[in-house]
Amino acid sequence: MTADKAKVTRMLKTARGQMDGILKMIDDNRYCIDISNQIMACQAILSRVNKEVLHAHLANCVLSGNGEQSKEKLDEIAKILDQLL
């Protein structure tokens, strides 16, 4: 992986902490809208992590490929974009 590992790790640990908080909110029978807001906040962090990883992939893996390897890398990115959109 070519993304900033420290940044990605920090963000994922934050998301994990939020998930633990969400589970506690459910155990505590908290208000549904509050739980939903926390779920969306966690999803936003995961989206930012994914964006970081994909940007690094484009900048390092795709650009460094040549010929058939470049085509393969572009196809991989296209599949990911299809899933995201």
CATH number of the domain encompassing residue 14: 1.20.58.1000
- Convert the pLDDT of each residue in 36-50 to its tens digit: 999 999 999 999 999
Query: What residues contact 39, with CB distance under 8 A and at least 6 apart?
Result: 22
Number of domains in the chain: 1
Structural domain containing residue 30: 5-84
Q: What is the pLDDT of residues 59-77, one digit of tens each?
A: 888 877 676 777 888 888 8
